[in-house]
Structure 1
Amino acid sequence: MYKVFIDNSVIAFLDSSEEIPSGPYDLICHSLENDLTKLLDQFDFSSSKLCILVVYEDFDLAINQVFHNYEFMDAAGGIVKSKWRYLFIERHGMWDIPKGKLDAHEQPWEAAVREIEEECGIYGPTIDHLIGITFHTYSYMGRLTIKKNWWYALNYSGPLDVTPQEEESITRAIWIEKPEWDLIRSNTYDSILEVLDLAKDW
């Protein structure tokens, strides 16, 4: 299942071969039976917290139909672990995970390492595994944008000194232990909560 976060709402995309998990859902629609290009017009996502399920035969086709007015962007980042500590950042007053847009011809895992190094001032984290993929929407320079985020788990054995990248509006970078993840959960985005849930065993 893939999830697209729109403000406080989520549109989940489920392969038709999978069993539909328990709801509640505000709407369940099938890509072969519904006009997905009109799905977003049916709801006010800014004022309601909705959960919509799209059952698809072809994921790329389904998501492109739903978000046909959006510009697609790829980004990557991840949760860095150094022994029993984990690295998080604060940006725009919210806790976040370091991430950023892929450069031309860059692979997601390469971008994840580069963005973490740039945003936190550490060097040499190494990829352990892919945590998962999420999507979220926002407005970028007046354009509706949907960002695909590749999230990785990374190991790090270097110094714990960090330097937040101020030009990216990062005000803090901290190392915390797993029991302190509740601090992050108390003031972050729904898409980040999803990543924390996926990484609970990391």
Structure 2
Amino acid sequence: MYKVFVKEVAIIVTSDKSTFKDHNTFNIKKVNFKELVQQIENKEIDNVVLYSKNESKLLKRLHKLLPLVIAGGGLVLNQDNDFLFIHRNGKWDLPKGKAEEGETIEQTSIREVEEETGVRDLQITNYLGHTYHTFSRKGKLKLKLTHWFIMETDFHKKLKPQKNEGIDKAVWLNKEMAILALKDSYANIRELFPDDMLVDDAR
């Protein structure tokens, strides 16, 4: 099973639709995906399942729905266990970006985190997972697959947000501040944090 986020709505992509009987189900081979995304953005439909009974072809069919952009990013912690966040286009986010030719996805993720925040001395400690979301670029709808890594650093100098990418802040947030930031973030970003991170125990 996979999730494709259209803003705050998660499209479920699965070969087992039995657990989603209350959802609107579409055949992944026949669906007009651009039209479906438009309906979701217009709040005309939610609780959506894309279904294919052939599980082995599910990922291939998902990647054919739209032009696919591969990206990498990081959930970065410092020595105080603070999280590295960026603020872009009015939302809190995690640093990430498009892979360049010849890079491994690990190299992409480290480069993008460094470029967007100014942080250095990053060490990847684990693979966190991946997310899918739709976005529009120059009027064309695309599908972004982002691979995420947990990273650590002892970097303590001033962070430098990449302003030419629309980033106005790059900051370290402790757990309580991160909880608040996630409320003004994106659904696919909240997916990356453990459930207990989303419980506001700061009161």
TM tier relative to shorter chain: 0.7 to 0.9
Q: Give, in whole Å, the separation in 2 of the partners of 1:5 and 1:47.
A: 14
Moved more, 113-122 or 36-45: 36-45
Q: How far does residue 2 in structure 1 lie from its aligned partner after superposition?
A: 1.8
The answer to whether 1:73 aligns with 2:69 is yes
Moved more, 160-169 or 48-57: 48-57
SS in structure 2 of the partner of residue 196 of structure 1: coil
Stretches (4+) displaced over 6 A: none
SS in structure 2 of the partner of residue 60 of structure 1: helix
Q: Give, in whole Å, the separation in 2 of the partners of 1:42 and 1:142.
A: 16
Match of 1:71, as an amino acid? P
Contact 1:8–1:46 at 8 Å: present in 2 too? no
Contact 1:135–1:149 at 8 Å: present in 2 too? yes
Counterparts in 2 of 1:149 and 1:20: CA distance versus 1, 3 Å:
farther
User: How many residues of Structure 1 are paired with residues of Structure 2 in the alignment?
Assistant: 191
Q: Give, in whole Å, the separation in 1 of the partners of 2:115 and 2:36.
A: 40
Residue number in structure 2 paired with 1:38: 31
Counterparts in 2 of 1:93 and 1:42: CA distance versus 1, 3 Å:
closer
Q: How far does residue 13 in structure 1 lie from its aligned partner after superposition?
A: 2.1
Moved more, 126-135 or 37-46: 37-46
Identity of aligned residues (%): 27
Deviations for 1:114-141, whole angstroms, at most 9, x for unmatched residues?
Answer: 0011111111211111111111111111
The answer to whether 1:92 aligns with 2:95 is no
Q: TM-score, normalised by structure 2?
A: 0.83
**RMSD (CA atoms):** 2.5
Deviations for 1:146-166, whole angstroms, at most 9, x for unmatched residues?
Answer: 110111110111224201111
Residue number in structure 1 paired with 2:142: 145
Structure 1: which 5+ runs fail to align? none
Contact 1:132–1:198 at 8 Å: present in 2 too? no
